[in-house]
Structures are given as C-alpha cells and as structure tokens.
Structure 1
Amino acid sequence: MAAPRAVWKGFLKVGSVSCGVKLVGATSKAGKIHFKILNRQDGLPVKSAYVDEETGDVVDAADQTKGYELEKGDFIEIEPDEIKKLKLSSAHTLEVESFVAIDDVDTRYLEKPYYVIPADGAALEVFSVLREAMAKKRGAARSCVVLYQRGREVLVQPFGKGMLLTELRTHNEMASEKTVLDDLTNPKYDDDLLEIAGLLIDKKVTKLDPSKFEDTYEDALIAMIDAKRKGKKPPKAATRPKENVVDLASILRKSLAKEGIARKGAAKPQRKSA
C-alpha cells in the first residue's frame, strides 16, 4: 500500500517538547457523483472563466490578482507572493496553547478531520508519549495551523495509534442558539406518552456504525442516471411526509404494537364472552 499523501508537514509542540508530524486527509469525495456543466445547445462541456466586470473580456490567469475591497469599488491589490511571505509560526508548527476535556467539546464547532501521524521514525517515541498522556487525561490539545493559505483553529486528540486533528468553526460562524430556540415553548404532555416514546427508543438503541450509513440522495442520483442511460423512465419520487400527528397517543401505541413491544403493567385486552 502506498504511503498516505500528507497535506501538511511540520512540528507538534507542547512546551519545550516537539516532534515532527504529518497531516493526512481523513475524508474523501472520490466516490461521489460529479456533474459537468454542458452547453444545452450542443451538449458540449463549458469552462468557467473570470471576466472583467466592465468590459466582459476574459482575464488570463497571469493578469489576475487578489483584492480587498475597502469601500464600494475601492480595492487594495494583494499579490500571491505577498501572502506567501507572511511569517507565521503556525505555518510549520502546531503549538499547543491549552488542553481541554474531550467530554466538554461542543460538537457544533467541529468541522473537517485530518489524521496526525509521526513524520518519521525519529519522531515516533515523543509522538507516542504525548498521545498516550492525552488519552489517559482524556484531553484534547487546542492549537492553530495554516492550511491551504488560511489560518485555522484546530483541536488535536488521541485516535488509535495516531491522533485526529479537527478544524474548528469560529464563534462568528455559528448562529446563536438563542435566535433559534428561545421562542420555542414546552407543551404539556402526559407522562404516559413519555414512557411509550422511551420504550420505542430502547427498542432501537444500537452502536453508531458509519459503515452502515447510506447516502440516499447519491443512491437516487445513480438510479436516475442508470435509468436515463438505459432509456427507461426515472424512478418515482419519494412520497412526501404526512401532516403533523393529531392523535399522538394512538400513533405511539400503534408503533409499540408494530415493534412488538409489550408495556409492563399494561392491561391485557379482555376476551369477549361467547
């Protein structure tokens, strides 16, 4: 098996202790359906291009540069080389600023994962000691790193024989839960309904197994493409959900019966006399 391709190489640094590490992408889109944009007139692929907003002329890559808009129509030009020359320690070093308890991590902020592995054999001992110490303390290291010319806050935690680095969303990227949840009310409900719902949940408790996940949208795309290729009609669209449940008690009891769940202490139906 070929060695994994690193997207970043540098050093993991905790205090005065450091070791060489590599980041390897933990996700892949290789198996996903990808579409090309076609010209409806002749069915041929079209290319995207940057055009001058005023003249409409295509601008060659050599004539393109980045610009930051100060005010409407007023830009400061930034050359790619100027960005590359920025001296950031995080471009080559994952310096741990602090440790947080893994159990306290707000999962809303977790974004994109990468595997962290030792850069070479010389880094293996230090890397392993740091990983095991973090595992025993159930701690995750908070740091920042420059990836793809962008500074990113990250969290590093033990993962098997290696570590897992996860990009973090910033606080400014998150919508406040108050704007969404504060107007919700807690309706009154019968404790009996809560018990029935709990029984349904208990029936379906399992372990999270990502290998069982199915991308139903991707599957539907494949089925549609296959049907068009064979000159058949596309599969029927999925049925829309029904309206809100009106008689919750009745629906929950029917669900219990369908799942074959018997309630403790529930009265058995009486037989009719002959």
Structure 2
Amino acid sequence: MAPRPAWRGYLKLSLVTCAVELSNVVTHSEKVSFRILNRATGNTVRRQYVDADTGKPLSEKDEVKGYETGQDEYLLIEEEDIEAVQIESSHTLNLEGFVARRDIEQIYLDTPYYVAPADKVSEEAFTVIREALVKKKMAGLARIVLYRRERPALIEPFGKGMLLTTLRYDTTVRQAEDVADGTEKVKLDEEMVELAERVIERRKGKLDPDTFEDRYENALLELIKSKQAGRKAPRAKPAQKPSNVVNLFDALKKSLSDDSGKEEKDKAKPPVRKPAKRPASAKGKTRSQTARRKRA
C-alpha cells in the first residue's frame, strides 16, 4: 500500500505549475513500541484532559485551544479558525531562487520528503523542472506550510523524482564556534596527526546503509522473546568508560596495530547477522494475560 501523502499542492517555476505530493522518506512502523498498561489488571490505559481547577474530565467536544493574553486570560481559538488561515505556501511550492546544493550547510538540513507528480497531467511539467535542475546542478528554494508552520525548503533532483528537505531557521541553529571555542588554541604534534590520518586511511570505505544495524532495537527484541519464553531477561554488562588519562601518541599507535589485526580477522569473518525477528505479539503471553487466565 502506498504511503499516505504528507502534503498535496503545486510546484511552481515562474508560470509553469504542476500538481505534486510529498511523502515521508522515513518510516517508524517497524520499531518496537510499548503500550501503557494497568499493572493490576493488564488492561490498557488512556489519557484524558481534566479541568485544572475542578479536576473533572473533559469530553472532546468541550476542548478548545486558547492563546494566553494575560495572567489567566485566554483568547479562544476554534479549530475552524486555524484551518481558515491560508497563505501561498499552504498549497504552492514557489521556486523563488536557486543555489548549488553544496552551498547549504548540513546543520540547516532538517526533514526530507519525496516529491512526485500527483497525477498524469503533471508528469511532463514535473520532469521538465527536474531535468532543468539536473543540468544546471542546482537546487530550488521554496517555502511550505507543514504541520501548521511555514518552513523554508530545498528542492533537488533525486532519482526519477525530487527530494524536498525542510530547512531550519537561522535563529534556531547554534553555531559551531559556540560549542567548539578554544580548539584553535591547541598546539598540534604533526606526528600524531599523521598517525591519526593513517588510522582513517585504514578504515576508509563507502557508505552502505544496508549494513546499518539497530543493535538497541535487536536487544529489545531479544528481551521480548526471553519474556515470552518465560526466561530471565538478559542483562548486559555496562560499557566500560574510557580512562581520562591517556597517552595520545601510544593510543594512536595501538589503534594502528589493532586495525592490522582486525583486517586479518575480517577476512575470515562470517556474514553479518540479520536483525532479530520481531516476535509475534499474538503468540506471546504477558504476565497480566497469564494472571487473568488463572483467575478465570
């Protein structure tokens, strides 16, 4: 099943317009998730708004947004009032300017979305815009309203379609000099820098996302499988903290030596283990489910 579009609207280059839709690049559907249960009954629980003064629960129809105008004073804003707020970027990605992709600093990149034509009629105009960006080696700058916030965005060719990446506002980004102040005062030993370069050279390779493994996710799955089987939950030893006192030169030399031994081991290394399979929730028995069966 195709993912539900995160946004639908139009892509505009001067007088050329085509209908497009955005879809999420990232999915979290396969991640381990937990529900909150009542420990005594095993039943799921739900959250509910209550009146801060009376303590009485509120029904959904009685909930309304409020904008604080003073001490304990609020202006009521209805949902339809917010829905009525529309600006150009609510429905149109107007390509206002163009930049070289390499000129965008990584710290300003936020969330990526796939961009595709929304219908057959729009495919020709969409392809023309994409191919023009490819040949000029440029990316377009636009604005888009997503989740009730206007965000600057970068649009660039990507495969047969395009990729839109929302950008962070400069006011929300901390600059590197704010956190790395003082490093320029360090006196460098060129021999140690050379050793570090050799460590990097030994470990260089190509980025292959297929080899990424979420080891924490796998550990959670192993925990769940153990609990389902009635076994004691596995307990890993805490990672040892590195010593603060270290001879940097000796550490770099040892790193090179360890890498040499690692290369020999890697030649006889078995294939990478596949991620642990998700246990079937229908087959597992939680403690509360078991307790309910006994009481029955």
Please indicate, yes or no, whether the TM-score normalized by the shorter chain is above 0.5: yes
Aligned match of 1:86: 85
Give me the TM-score of the superposition, normalised by structure 1. 0.88
Task: Classify 1:44/1:3 alpha carbon distance in 2 versus 1 (closer, same or farther; 3 Å).
Answer: closer
Task: Classify 1:258/1:184 alpha carbon distance in 2 versus 1 (closer, same or farther; 3 Å).
Answer: closer
- Point out where structure 2 has 5 or more consecutive residues left out of the alignment: 262-296
Aligned match of 1:121: 120
Q: Is it true that 1:164 corresponds to 2:163 in the alignment?
A: yes
Q: Is it true that 1:104 corresponds to 2:100 in the alignment?
A: no
- Between the aligned partners of 1:118 and 1:227, the Cα distance in structure 2 is 47
Aligned match of 1:18: 17
SS in 2 for 1:43: coil
Q: Displacement of 1:179 after TM fit?
A: 2.7
Structure 2 residue identity aligned to 1:65: V
Q: Is it true that 1:256 corresponds to 2:271 in the alignment?
A: no
Which moved further from structure 2: 235-244 or 53-62? 235-244
Structure 2 residue identity aligned to 1:178: E
Aligned match of 1:145: 144
Q: Contact 1:223/1:235 (CA < 8 Å) preserved in 2? A: no
Seq. identity, % = 41
Aligned match of 2:76: 77
SS in 1 for 2:174: coil
Q: Displacement of 1:70 after TM fit?
A: 2.3
- Between the aligned partners of 1:73 and 1:217, the Cα distance in structure 2 is 45
Aligned match of 1:178: 177
Q: Is it true that 1:59 corresponds to 2:58 in the alignment?
A: yes
- Between the aligned partners of 1:90 and 1:212, the Cα distance in structure 2 is 38
Task: Classify 1:72/1:100 alpha carbon distance in 2 versus 1 (closer, same or farther; 3 Å).
Answer: farther
Task: Classify 1:127/1:202 alpha carbon distance in 2 versus 1 (closer, same or farther; 3 Å).
Answer: same
Q: Displacement of 1:220 after TM fit?
A: 2.0
Task: Classify 1:190/1:235 alpha carbon distance in 2 versus 1 (closer, same or farther; 3 Å).
Answer: same
- Between the aligned partners of 1:84 and 1:233, the Cα distance in structure 2 is 49
Give me the TM-score of the superposition, normalised by structure 2. 0.82
Aligned match of 1:216: 215
Q: Displacement of 1:185 after TM fit?
A: 5.0
SS in 1 for 2:179: helix
Structure 1 residue identity aligned to 2:222: A
Q: CA RMSD in A?
A: 1.8
Q: Contact 1:21/1:119 (CA < 8 Å) preserved in 2? A: yes
- Point out where structure 1 has 5 or more consecutive residues left out of the alignment: 262-274
Q: Is it true that 1:237 corresponds to 2:237 in the alignment?
A: yes
- Between the aligned partners of 1:223 and 1:245, the Cα distance in structure 2 is 36
- Between the aligned partners of 1:237 and 1:68, the Cα distance in structure 2 is 50
Q: Displacement of 1:183 after TM fit?
A: 4.3
SS in 2 for 1:36: coil
Residues 212-245 of structure 1 show CA distances to partners (whole Å, capped at 9, x for unaligned) of 1122221222222222222223231342332135
SS in 1 for 2:6: strand
- Between the aligned partners of 2:244 and 2:64, the Cα distance in structure 1 is 53
Which moved further from structure 2: 198-207 or 244-253? 244-253
Which moved further from structure 2: 43-52 or 225-234? 225-234
Which moved further from structure 2: 193-202 or 214-223? 214-223
- Between the aligned partners of 1:154 and 1:48, the Cα distance in structure 2 is 35
Q: Contact 1:113/1:166 (CA < 8 Å) preserved in 2? A: yes
SS in 1 for 2:28: coil
Aligned residues: 260
Q: Displacement of 1:129 after TM fit?
A: 1.4
- Between the aligned partners of 1:56 and 1:152, the Cα distance in structure 2 is 38
Aligned match of 2:225: 226
Q: Contact 1:228/1:234 (CA < 8 Å) preserved in 2? A: no
Q: Displacement of 1:169 after TM fit?
A: 1.9
Task: Classify 1:195/1:218 alpha carbon distance in 2 versus 1 (closer, same or farther; 3 Å).
Answer: same
Which moved further from structure 2: 243-252 or 97-106? 243-252
Q: Contact 1:142/1:154 (CA < 8 Å) preserved in 2? A: yes
Q: Displacement of 1:60 after TM fit?
A: 0.9
SS in 2 for 1:22: strand
Task: Classify 1:212/1:168 alpha carbon distance in 2 versus 1 (closer, same or farther; 3 Å).
Answer: same
Aligned match of 2:284: none
- Between the aligned partners of 1:72 and 1:178, the Cα distance in structure 2 is 39
Task: Classify 1:179/1:125 alpha carbon distance in 2 versus 1 (closer, same or farther; 3 Å).
Answer: same
Q: Displacement of 1:194 after TM fit?
A: 0.8
- Between the aligned partners of 2:254 and 2:177, the Cα distance in structure 1 is 36
Structure 1 residue identity aligned to 2:109: L
